[in-house]
Amino acid sequence: SQQGEEDPQALSIQEGENATMNCSYKTSINNLQWYRQNSGRGLVHLILIRSNEREKHSGRLRVTLDTSKKSSSLLITASRAADTASYFCATGRGGGNKLTFGTGTQLKVEL
Protein backbone atom coordinates (compact mmCIF):
# COMPACT_ATOMS: atom_id res chain seq x y z
CA SER A 1 0.00 0.00 0.00
CA GLN A 2 1.07 3.54 -0.58
CA GLN A 3 3.12 4.89 2.28
CA GLY A 4 3.19 8.60 1.72
CA GLU A 5 0.59 11.17 1.07
CA GLU A 6 1.41 14.52 -0.36
CA ASP A 7 -0.38 17.76 -0.37
CA PRO A 8 -1.39 19.65 -2.20
CA GLN A 9 -2.23 17.28 -5.03
CA ALA A 10 -1.86 20.18 -7.44
CA LEU A 11 -0.25 23.56 -7.11
CA SER A 12 -0.26 26.43 -9.55
CA ILE A 13 1.95 29.44 -8.96
CA GLN A 14 3.53 32.32 -10.81
CA GLU A 15 7.15 32.33 -11.82
CA GLY A 16 9.30 33.76 -9.08
CA GLU A 17 7.06 32.57 -6.27
CA ASN A 18 8.01 29.85 -3.84
CA ALA A 19 6.39 26.43 -3.97
CA THR A 20 5.94 24.27 -0.90
CA MET A 21 4.94 20.64 -1.00
CA ASN A 22 4.31 18.44 2.00
CA CYS A 23 4.67 14.73 2.47
CA SER A 24 3.43 12.55 5.30
CA TYR A 25 4.35 8.94 5.88
CA LYS A 26 3.23 6.20 8.22
CA THR A 27 6.10 4.06 9.44
CA SER A 28 9.67 4.60 10.54
CA ILE A 29 12.15 5.30 7.79
CA ASN A 30 15.86 5.28 7.04
CA ASN A 31 15.66 8.22 4.71
CA LEU A 32 13.27 10.29 2.68
CA GLN A 33 13.90 11.39 -0.86
CA TRP A 34 12.30 13.78 -3.26
CA TYR A 35 12.01 13.12 -6.95
CA ARG A 36 10.81 15.08 -9.91
CA GLN A 37 9.02 13.66 -12.92
CA ASN A 38 8.29 15.49 -16.11
CA SER A 39 5.18 14.29 -17.89
CA GLY A 40 5.67 10.83 -19.36
CA ARG A 41 9.31 10.65 -18.34
CA GLY A 42 11.41 8.90 -15.75
CA LEU A 43 12.30 10.18 -12.33
CA VAL A 44 15.05 12.59 -11.46
CA HIS A 45 16.48 12.44 -7.97
CA LEU A 46 16.43 15.81 -6.26
CA ILE A 47 17.54 15.38 -2.70
CA LEU A 48 17.86 12.80 0.08
CA ILE A 49 17.48 13.52 3.75
CA ARG A 50 18.38 10.94 6.34
CA SER A 51 16.27 10.16 9.36
CA ASN A 52 18.76 11.87 11.67
CA GLU A 53 18.75 15.09 9.67
CA ARG A 54 16.24 17.88 10.04
CA GLU A 55 16.97 20.14 7.11
CA LYS A 56 18.90 20.02 3.88
CA HIS A 57 19.56 22.45 1.07
CA SER A 58 20.47 21.99 -2.55
CA GLY A 59 20.44 25.04 -4.78
CA ARG A 60 16.88 26.41 -4.79
CA LEU A 61 15.62 23.38 -2.92
CA ARG A 62 15.10 23.15 0.81
CA VAL A 63 13.87 19.97 2.44
CA THR A 64 12.83 19.52 6.03
CA LEU A 65 12.11 16.34 7.91
CA ASP A 66 10.18 15.96 11.14
CA THR A 67 10.33 12.34 12.21
CA SER A 68 8.14 12.98 15.24
CA LYS A 69 5.34 14.11 12.95
CA LYS A 70 6.35 11.73 10.17
CA SER A 71 6.36 14.53 7.68
CA SER A 72 8.62 16.30 5.24
CA SER A 73 8.38 19.40 3.13
CA LEU A 74 10.02 20.46 -0.11
CA LEU A 75 10.42 24.15 -0.78
CA ILE A 76 11.37 25.39 -4.22
CA THR A 77 12.37 29.03 -4.08
CA ALA A 78 12.13 31.51 -6.93
CA SER A 79 10.30 29.03 -9.11
CA ARG A 80 10.72 28.92 -12.86
CA ALA A 81 8.46 27.69 -15.62
CA ALA A 82 10.92 24.82 -16.11
CA ASP A 83 10.09 23.61 -12.60
CA THR A 84 6.68 22.52 -13.87
CA ALA A 85 6.54 18.80 -13.13
CA SER A 86 5.23 16.25 -10.66
CA TYR A 87 7.12 15.93 -7.41
CA PHE A 88 7.15 12.79 -5.34
CA CYS A 89 8.47 12.00 -1.93
CA ALA A 90 9.74 8.49 -1.38
CA THR A 91 10.67 6.74 1.80
CA GLY A 92 13.32 4.09 2.08
CA ARG A 93 13.04 1.05 4.23
CA GLY A 94 15.28 -1.88 4.87
CA GLY A 95 18.55 -1.17 3.11
CA GLY A 96 17.13 2.15 2.00
CA ASN A 97 17.01 1.38 -1.68
CA LYS A 98 13.51 -0.06 -1.69
CA LEU A 99 11.34 2.99 -2.06
CA THR A 100 7.70 3.65 -1.40
CA PHE A 101 6.39 6.71 -3.21
CA GLY A 102 3.95 9.31 -2.09
CA THR A 103 0.92 10.36 -4.06
CA GLY A 104 2.74 13.27 -5.67
CA THR A 105 2.16 16.96 -6.20
CA GLN A 106 1.65 18.35 -9.69
CA LEU A 107 3.32 21.73 -9.82
CA LYS A 108 2.59 24.20 -12.55
CA VAL A 109 4.64 27.36 -12.74
CA GLU A 110 3.15 29.96 -15.02
CA LEU A 111 4.96 32.80 -16.68
Partner 1 sequence: GAVVSQHPSWVICKSGTSVKIECRSLDFQATTMFWYRQFPKQSLMLMATSNEGSKATYEQGVEKDKFLINHASLTLSTLTVTSAHPEDSSFYICSAWEGWVGELFFGEGSRLTVL
Per CB under 8 A, residues contacting partner 1 are 2, 35, 40-45, 88, 96-104, 106
Nearer CB in complex with partner 1: 37/77? 37
CB of 107 to partner 1, least distance (A): 13
Nearer CB in complex with partner 1: 5/15? 5
CB of 91 to partner 1, least distance (A): 11
Instruction: Give the side-chain half-sphere CA count within 13 A for 67.
Output: 13
Instruction: Measure the CA–CA gap between 35 and 46, rounded to whole angstroms.
Output: 5
Contact 2, 102 (CB under 8 A): yes
SS3 37: strand
